[in-house]
Amino acid sequence: MDNKAVRKRNIELLVAQSGGPTEFARTIGREQVQVSQWLGGKNIGDRLARDIEAKLGKDSGWLDSPQWASASSDSGNSTATEVTPSQPERLDDEKLAASIEWLQGLFNTWRRDFDPVKHARLIAAVYAELTTPAKPNLVRLSLAIAEELDQESEQNDRQSKARRA
């Protein structure tokens, strides 16, 4: 497998683990369109690969070696699943329902309102976590969600104060 194909496949893995192209783009400070182009086969050059690795805290050259085998072996699977973003993925109804129920429980614990439409991105992130080859890390995810909700509350408070002023 050539370097271009290895990088593309590693990007597919990272995108799946992060909850989709939009979230991955946000994480690495790029546009979602650019991530979609990579998933479609546009080449990722050396300088760009090193920049992505640095932003993700990965060692230099991480994108150049197959990572999907280690991701699948971490979860106990002996073979890696081929990711083909050009084909629509069928959602697993049970995992989607579990994602929504988990978020509802989390929001109830925090005494916050859960709106599936408003929080669709969070549902997608939980779903991605539940469907990644690696073992789901819902503790890390719940901490990230708590931080995001705190920032959202702070922003709403600032906007309320600005309207009153």
Cβ pair 74, 136 in contact under 8 A = no
Tokens of 21: 């192209």
Maximum average pLDDT range among 50-59, 64-73, 74-83, 145-154: 50-59
Q: Note down the domain range covering 155.
A: 93-164
Average predicted confidence (pLDDT) for the chain: 81
Assess if residue 45 is contained within a domain: yes
Nearest residue to 67 (alpha-carbon basis) of 31, 15, 144: 15
* Predicted structure pTM score: 0.46
> Residue 83 domain-assigned?
no
Output helix, strand, coil percentages for the chain, rounded to the nearest 5: 65, 0, 35
pLDDT tens digits along 10-61 = 888 888 888 888 889 999 999 988 988 888 889 999 999 999 999 998 999 9
Mark which of 46, 74, 102 sits at the end of a domain: 74
**End-to-end alpha-carbon separation of the chain, Å?**
61
Supply the pLDDT for residue 68.
67
Same domain, yes or no, for 100 and 149? yes
Q: What total number of domains does the chain contain?
A: 2
Same domain as 103, residue 56:
no
Q: What is the mean pLDDT of residues 119-131?
A: 84
Are 31 and 25 in contact by the 8 Å Cβ rule? The answer is: yes
80 found inside a domain: no
